Structure 1
């Protein structure tokens, strides 16, 4: 009874899950070896019509590791991966893990300045990229010279010293190269940079143990319905993002699933892939689910093959969940995660009670609390900061002890998100600590306002922020993108909010616009909206 009082979510776990778990201390490469031994001849990757078996995939990983070993790339060396979803990403990722090197995840959309910051911060001397990005790679190399640059294609668009990964793999002779000895709890596998919402980007150090544990936790949360060797994953979210790396790539390998790699999300193309390959698992983001429900012919593509859908990177509006599930028959398991936690920590269980609008319950082996500003745990129903403890929590930020000390206290990661927990142990995110709007002394949570706006049938996207106000301290402003052909006005949306929100929560201004600023994985960039308002205020003076 004591455990249920302290951890009320235990009773919501799928059948067969132990309350206290010991996760295996193995490397990511060992995880790959284990799956190849079991599923060797089954399809591991599907890319642009080509199907690649587990055995072939491992053979290419090993050949690339041989090449890199000859180039004296070894344990602890940082290798930047700046590519779209493709088999070469997988080969490079796992070749690095075999050698004990550290993968540095890099968004291909980074500017040269951002690339320079990351390569400087972690001393990245090796880079895997695409030929079309070589121009900006050359700019970075002027001040941050790379020892070796590799491209995933054979095309070279400028005079730059690069080597082609497909050519290197093809020319390399097979030889026995023993994997580097790894200490899973200590050795870093991946440096995942945070989005920089609080300033300069920070490199979260994720160990082999962190990442393997999170894969197993994810699998357990799906319950007995998820079958090893039987699933087909559709990975459209970019693998350089921690969510896709774990839920799209690593979980698929652990499961022995076939993984359809999509370099760019285009809704018509993705629907065709669903119709052709009948995937069972789709780790998506809100913009993708929005695209599905707004496609005029979505019901004709048979999305009922999707048994498991998850959503990450940003909160998923309740209205989008209902509409997606109505038109497809699929179920979305909304959850929570962050770069610092490998990334997943909470999810609504596939079996048992699902509470739409919540982030669900903590993963097996994960503890979670809502605390006040002093760090004291708050009772159910109270709003405070969400903190998390578990095997997936990062080792710290790369060479940044000050920020590590702020975020990681006694093994607990302080998320910066405001949350509440109900009596059953289900958690709800109500906003970011830094996004909390205080208007006339009242706390206003942007997510509540956005949720109301999403209820309007003509609203496609919504965002709310606080802007300075001489009278109330801050006033609420909302930004809305309408569905195609919609005629709703700002005044009508204000009236809609007035019928559903307390007076001080109603936006004082609603701006209708063509789009909202988002990053490459669909995460809303509210800081850009804040900067817009700051610029407008400066111009008005």
Structure 2
């Protein structure tokens, strides 16, 4: 097939790409051998070298095996960006387990679904999240819970002061180890070497949950090869990276596959120091960490860059060490990029594109070359991309069709969902292709532009919100007959959720009632921020709700003068 994008690659970006046969633990082991005394992680003043990080991962893997974790079992990780996440992730893989990324934002209802669907028998979580698990304990397959706290990773005297502060603020959650509850700190301290487990590149390393194009939460099976390949592709794209010298500001969460690949795995691949930020919404902390660490790489989402652009403390900090930023998870506004480059003295902030099922990056603009506004850029090395028509054949250059991608980063399939897998993976011309569900156009130079996102998908602050999930919760309200959820423009988040609700005859509910109900069942970013009541929802002849019409009407109403 023709690949016009190759002629627009920057100098040094390979035209041919073959991933290594490394597994994820190979990345950490090799870097620990090459840079044993380099700082791997910094966390609010605490530092961990690569030698120590590798040893902690080995010790934790051995401890997991001792308490009964078997190869192939699922280990759910419900942690913010902290040293324990990295140790837990790599330790679980070394023990032969499959990691299940679990959002710390999940409500008990959401957590219950994911633990049941994944069949997770082990849950590693922060002590502050334990009450949410307690609500559903006994209804999920979890056999052992491993608990850790922020204080466990802090240096003295912060590790002593943190619990005192939390108790004073009423946020302290004390969890005692015993029975099926274990202390992660105690497990890591049990020095040991795990029993050898044969890991193969095509083994599933991660279940990353996504609604895909249907909105039904399901686990994308990402193999070691998928995740290693995507980190290696990013390494090949960023030609000026200096092994053993970079400093990555890790504010985007590792439980999101974009953060995992670019902020964690790529950093470990090149021996970067990872500056862990547990709460990206704390912009003062983000600014302070960039300034103090001299961060050179800053992967993020548009909401984060925009927040920095407009924060009153930004002028007080030196952000000029930042050289490169790939923005993902949501469209990057041109003004956001312009302002950020100005604030940082010219940092290269470029827009990329990807999806969970592709581990996740497939396209991005050149870091130093021709960056085209409004474009998602060129396919990564090793990525084939084609714009397909309804007839399953490529459309002419410049015409709109569905974006298909192929390459070593494409998932194995959805966990226990062969029917859903068949809808998005297709063989064509001897390759396996992922149907993205996004409508795109390619120009003569091989630059791609998304003209319409996945049908009905809402992207709020960089997080995917699937209308069906919100609608299911809306209709759980006793007064609601039927409901639809759509995205409306939001200056800060890009989009926010707007609910259109039809009440049951004789029932009453206010906007505040509906929003409060949703906030009890959904993460904050998924809950509607506005509610509209109607007598009926517009539908097709076969009864399908016309979400696109509702979204257009909601957007138009917001543009009208009051």
- Secondary structure of the residue aligned to 1:211 is helix
Match 1:412 to one of 419, 423, 433: 433
Separation in structure 1 between the aligned mates of residue 525 and residue 433 of structure 2, nearest angstrom: 26
State which of 27, 34, 37 in structure 2 corresponds to 1:31.
Answer: 27
2:273 maps to 1:252: no
**Does the 8 A contact of 1:135 with 1:158 survive in 2?**
no
Q: 1:484-515 CA deviation, whole Å, 9 max, x = no partner?
A: xxxxxxxxxxxxxxxxxxxxxxxxxxxxxxxx
Q: How does 1:417-436 map to 2 (within 5 A)?
A: 417-435=438-456
* SS at 2:351 equivalent: strand
Q: For the structure 1 residues 28 and 100, does the alpha-carbon distance in structure 2 shift closer, same or farther, using more than 3 Å as the test? A: same
Which of 226, 229, 233 aligns to 1:210? It is 226
Match of 1:365 in 2: 382
Per-residue CA deviation, residues 353-384 of structure 1 (Å, 9 max, x unaligned), is 11122111001000001111222111221111
Question: What SS is found at the alignment partner of 2:57?
Answer: helix
* Contact persistence 1:385–1:433 (CA under 8 A): no
Paired residue for 1:349?
366
Q: Which runs of 5+ in 2 are unaligned?
A: 153-171, 468-485, 494-517, 539-562
Q: Are the aligned partners of 2:43 and 2:277 in contact in 1 as well (CA < 8 Å)? A: yes
What does residue 182 of structure 2 align with?
Answer: 163
By how many angstroms is 1:42 displaced? Answer: 0.3
Of 51-60 and 18-27, more deviation after overlay is shown by 18-27
Q: Work out whether 1:335 is the aligned partner of 2:352.
A: yes
Against the structure 1 CA distance between its residues 178 and 163, is the aligned structure 2 distance closer, same or farther, given a 3 Å change threshold?
closer
Give the corresponding residue for 1:128: 124
Matches of 1:39 and 1:313, distance apart in 2: 32
1:149 matches 2:167: no
With 277-286 and 320-329 compared, the bigger mean Cα shift is at: 320-329
CA drift of 1:269 comes to: 1.4
Please give the per-residue CA displacement for 1:199-220, whole angstroms capped at 9, x wherever unaligned. 3201000000000100000011
Of 44, 50, 58, 2:46 maps to 50
Q: Structure 2 vs 1, CA of residues 362 and 179 (structure 1 numbering), >3 Å: closer, same or farther?
A: farther
Determine if the alignment matches structure 1 residue 229 to structure 2 residue 244.
yes
Rate the CA distance shift 1:199–1:250 in 2: closer, same or farther, 3 A. same
The root-mean-square deviation of aligned C-alpha atoms, in Å, is 2.8
Give CA-to-partner distance per residue, 1:218-271, whole Å, 9 cap, x none.
011111x11110100001111110011110110110010000010002111111
Structure 2 CA distance for partners of 1:43 and 1:405, relative to 1, 3 Å: same
Partner SS, residue 281 of structure 1: coil
> What's the offset of the Cα at 1:327?
2.3
Q: Which residue of 1 aligns with 2:201?
A: 184
- Alignment partners' CA distance in 2, 1:34 and 1:539: 58
What is the rounded CA distance, in whole Å, between the counterparts of 1:260 and 1:295 in structure 2? 21
For 1:227 and 1:236, the matched residues in 2 are separated by 21
Q: Which runs of 5+ in 1 are unaligned?
A: 437-445, 451-462, 466-475, 484-516
SS class of match (1:428)? strand
Contact 2:387 2:395 in 1 (8 A): yes
Partner deviation per Cα, 1:53-111 (whole Å, 9 max, x = no partner): 00010111111011011123132110000011100000010011112210001011112
Q: Give the C-alpha shift of residue 539 in structure 1.
A: 10
Q: Which residue of 1 aligns with 2:308?
A: 292
Equivalent pair of 2:122/2:145 in contact (CA under 8 Å)? yes
Is the 1:126–1:146 contact (alpha carbons within 8 Å) kept by the matching residues of 2? yes
Give the length in aligned residue pairs: 459
Q: Give the secondary structure class of the aligned counterpart of 2:76.
A: strand
Match of 2:83 in 1: 87
**1:326 shift after superposition:** 2.0
Aligned partner of residue 315 in structure 2, secondary structure: helix
Q: For 1:467-491, what per-residue CA distance to the aligned partner results, in whole angstroms no more than 9, with x for missing partners? A: xxxxxxxxx99545489xxxxxxxx
TM-score (norm 1): 0.80
**Any conservation in 1 of the 2:284–2:313 contact (CA below 8 Å)?**
no
Aligned to 1:149, the other structure's residue is in SS state strand
Report the secondary structure of 2:320's partner residue: helix
1:110–1:478 distance in 2 versus 1, CA, 3 Å: closer
**TM-score, scaled to structure 2:** 0.77
Instruction: Describe the superposition over 1:384-425 as per-residue Cα deviations: whole angstroms up to 9, x where unpaired.
Output: 111100000000000000110001111111111111111110
Corresponding residue of 1:173: 191
User: 2:40·2:47 contact (CA, 8 Å) conserved in 1?
Assistant: yes
Q: Partners in 1 of 2:244 and 2:353 — Cα distance?
A: 26
